[in-house]
Chains A and B, each alone.
Chain A
Amino acid sequence: MASESISVTTSDDQTIQLSRKHAQMSQTINSMLEDSVGADQEAIPLPNVSSEVLKKVIDWCTHHENDPAPVEKVKKLNKKREYKAKNSTISDEWDKNFVNAELRVIVDILLAANYLDVKGLFELMCKHIANELKGKTPDQIRERFGIQDDLTEEDKAAMRKAWGATKNDS
C-alpha cells in the first residue's frame, strides 16, 4: 500500500513531509510519483522551490484539499463573440488573506505553483496580480511592480499617435 506521506527536498536542502493527498494536487509531483511506482521511496527533489514557499503551497493545498478537481474548460466561441470580462473577484476570504503578502512572496508562490502545476493556486496568483494592475496608471503600475521605465520618447510618441494621449501619460 502506498505511503500516506511523501518526502520532498527543497532548493534549500530541507526535507519536508507532505500528505499524499496534497502531493497529488501538484501534477508535477503526481507524475513523479506515478513514474516511481515500485522504486525506492526517496525524497522527491524540488530544486525550484524553497522550503518557505513550499510551506505556503502546502497551506493553500490544506485549505483547498476538498475542492472539486479543476475542470479544463473548453473555450467555445459565443455566437455573438462579445467581449466579456472574466470574473476576477477573489471570493474566498481565506484566499484573500493568503494573497495579502509582499509582492516578492506572491511571485515566488506563482512560480512555484507554475513549476508544481497546482492549477487552482496558479490561477489565484494570476488573478491577484491582474487585480493589482486594475485602475492604475502606467506610472502607478511601474511603482507598484518595480518596473523601470525603459520606453524611449519615440516609443511614447508612437503610442500617443496610435492610441491618443491620456492625462496620465508620462
Chain B
Amino acid sequence: MFARLPEEIILHILRDLHPLTLLNVSRASRLLRRLTDDVWRYKYKEMGFLCDVKSPMEWKKYFFQACRADPLGSLCRGETLVIELRHELTTTSYDSIEITFGHMVDSLQKENTSQKGLLIHVVYRRENQLKEEFITDAKTPPTISAWKKAIGQLDHFEDPSVETNCGRRVLHVVSVDMTKKSTEVRDRKLMTNTVAYAQQCPMLESRCNYYLEKYKEHMSRTTITTE
C-alpha cells in the first residue's frame, strides 16, 4: 500500500505518530525505516525524545539515542533539559531529572565574579518530589569529573524496583525549557553540554571530548557576563 503513496504523503501520516508507534513502523520495511528516520530528526528538533524503556539498564541506551539526536548539543546556557521517566505517558507522577547549564547562584557570582563559571544545576525528583538537588561548578573549562558528577545522578534510575514494579517505563526527554534562556547568549550555542556520560558508555567518550573541545574554543573567544 505504501508503495502507491508519494513519500511526502507517507511522511505526513508518520509525523504525528506516537514515537513508540513510529519505532514499530520503522522496523517494517526499508522505505519506512528511511522515512521514519526523517521524522525522528524532525521530532528530536521540535519535541525532544521519547521512548519505551523495558528494563532498568535500557534507559541508558535510549538516553544515548537522545544525545545523538542532540537535544543536549543544542542547549544554550540557561536552558534546562528535563528527562522524565514515567510508568505510563498518561500518569502525572514520574521521576525526573532536570539539568540546567549555566545556572548562576547569587552567592557564587559575588564570590567568583572573576570566574563567571558555567554551572550545572541538577535537580532529581522521585515521584515528583524533590529528592536531590545540587550545583556543579563546571568552571572553565568543565572537567570530565564535573560532568560525571552531574550526570552520575542519572544512576538513580537504575533502581531495580523500576523493573520489579512496572516492567516497562517511558523515558521522556523533554527538549528544553526556553524560559530560562539568558538573553546575552541567546544566539550562541554553548557546545559544552553533551555529558561526560562516557563513564559507562565508551561510545560517548569521543563525542564528549568533542564538545569539551568546542567548549574550550568557545570560552577562549567569549566572556560570559553574569545576569
Residues of A whose CB lies within 8 Å of any CB of B are 77, 79-86, 88, 103-104, 107, 110-111, 114, 126, 129-130, 133-138, 141-142, 145-151, 155-156, 159, 162-164, 166, 168-170
A/B pair count, beta carbons within 8 Å = 109
Q: How many residues of B contact A (CB 8 A)?
A: 42
Q: Is the interface of B mostly helix, strand, loop or mixed?
A: helix
Q: Are A81 and B65 in contact (CB under 8 A)?
A: no
- In the complex the two chains form, is A81's CB within 8 Å of B13's CB? no
User: Quick check: is B221 within 8 A (CB to CB) of the other chain?
Assistant: no
B74 to chain A, nearest CB (A): 11
B80 to chain A, nearest CB (A): 10
Q: How far is the CA of A16 from the CA of B179 in the complex (A)?
A: 56
Query: Which residues in chain B, 170-216, are within 8 Å of chain A measured between CB atoms?
Result: 172, 174-179
Task: Find out whether the CB atom of A138 lies under 8 angstroms from the CB atom of B27.
Answer: yes
CB neighbours (8 Å) of A145 from chain B are 1-2, 28
Partner of A146, one of B1, B13, B26: B1
Q: Say yes or no: B16 contacts A149, CB within 8 Å.
A: no
A133-B17 in contact (CB<8A): yes
Mark each residue of chain B from 53 to 79: 1 if its CB lies under 8 Å from any CB of chain A, else 0: 010001001100100000000000000
Residues in A whose Cβ lies below 8 Å from that of B123? none
Contact A81 B174, beta carbon cutoff 8 Å: yes
Alpha-carbon gap, A169 to B24, bound state (A): 9
Known contacts: A130-B13, A130-B17, A145-B1. The answer to whether A81 contacts B29 by CB under 8 A is: no
A123 to B46, CA, bound (A): 21
B36 smallest CB distance to A (angstroms)? 11
- Across the A-B interface, give the 3 residue pairs with the lowest CB-CB distance, nearest first: A138-B27, A86-B16, A83-B47
- Give min CB distance, A150 to chain B, whole Å: 5
Task: Identify which of B14, B33, B174 contacts A155 (C-beta below 8 A).
Answer: B33
How far is it, in angstroms, between the C-alpha of A137 and the C-alpha of B21 when the chains are bound? 8
Quick one: which of B7-63 are within 8 Å of A by CB? 9, 12-14, 16-19, 21, 23-30, 32-33, 43, 46-48, 50-51, 54, 58, 61-62
